[in-house]
Amino acid sequence: MRKPVMAGNWKMNKTRDEALEFIYAVSDKLPAQNQLDSIICAPAIILRDLVKRKGNSLKIGAQNVHFAESGAYTGEISPAMLSTTGVEYVIIGHSERRAYFNETDETVNLKIKAALANDLKPIICCGESLEERETGKTHEVLERQITKAFEGITSENLSNIIIAYEPIWAIGTGKVASDEMADEACGYIRSLIAKLYCSLCAEEIRILYGGSVSPKSVSGLMAQPNIDGGLVGGASLKSDSFIELCNKAV
């Protein structure tokens, strides 16, 4: 049995005060830790504050990390720096970072390795564009992204890794992939993990769907055999909506 996950991706939203207000509003209304991993991935500057005040049921994640240990990378944050904030997770390879900040399959792989080496659990994002879907390239894109992401990663690390399938055309557009479409892609990713590692590894790894998930669509998605949870942007910004998402996910 894979434990479900509900991960909020706040992106570049919320000041410290807004974030703390949210944390206090949700802290005693989330399912217990043994039922669900409820995660908020917040901007780096407020992570330490959130970790200190998150309560028992919430986990905190970052949205990005650099792959180098240290050096001349103005404005970047190293995995060790992130680790000292006490965060447990880090999103790696979000399509917005690939599109606007030149992240490639190669840097995604380097970041995953650096995160794991610093006790951070990667939430690895993958997914196709609308054009790639419409020209029948979804599997090809997922195979390339997943194969490169996992290059040099041993099977012992898999229990610390979450994969998020996020079709780019569904992010922030209100267009959720149909339950079947999302499940098919997550099932395909699972088959890639079976090919790269083993069938038990594929059965055990957690795969989330992301892209316009809302309290309305979450139950249908969660009922799919290959979907273990959601990576949620817009609908994770309001405390009531996040509470509803988490409670519907168990």
Instruction: Tell me if 120 contacts ligand PGA by CB under 6 A.
Output: no
Percent of residues in the chain assigned helix, strand, coil, to nearest 5? 45, 15, 40
Q: State in angstroms the smallest separation of the CB of 195 from ligand PGA.
A: 26
- Select from 233, 242, 245, 246 the one that contacts ligand PGA (CB under 6 A): 233
Instruction: Tell me if 167 contacts ligand PGA by CB under 6 A.
Output: no
Report which secondary-structure segment, H or E, holds 19. Answer: helix 16-26
Instruction: Tell me if 122 contacts ligand PGA by CB under 6 A.
Output: no
Q: State in angstroms the smallest separation of the CB of 199 from ligand PGA.
A: 28
- Select from 172, 178, 238, 240 the one that contacts ligand PGA (CB under 6 A): 172
Alpha-carbon span 240 to 243, nearest angstrom: 5
Taken in order 142, 234, 36, 88, the sign of the CA dihedral is positive
Active site residue 94: yes
Instruction: Tell me if 8 contacts ligand PGA by CB under 6 A.
Output: no
Instruction: Tell me if 130 contacts ligand PGA by CB under 6 A.
Output: no
Dihedral class, residue 66 (left if φ above 0, else alpha if ψ from -120 to 50, else beta): beta
Nearest to ligand PGA of 171, 202 (CB atom): 171
Query: Strand, coil or helix: what is 18?
Result: helix
Instruction: Tell me if 93 contacts ligand PGA by CB under 6 A.
Output: no
Taken in order 46, 7, 131, 147, the sign of the CA dihedral is positive
Q: How many residues of this chain interact with ligand PGA, rule: CB under 6 A?
A: 13
**Smallest Cα–Cα separation from 182: which of 165, 195, 194?**
165
Contact 79, 66 (CB under 8 A): yes
Q: Which stretch binds ligand PGA (CB under 6 A): 63-71, 101-109, 180-188, 207-215?
A: 207-215
Using CB under 6 A, list all residues that contact ligand PGA.
Answer: 9, 166, 171-172, 210-213, 231-235
The residues assigned a catalytic role are 94, 166
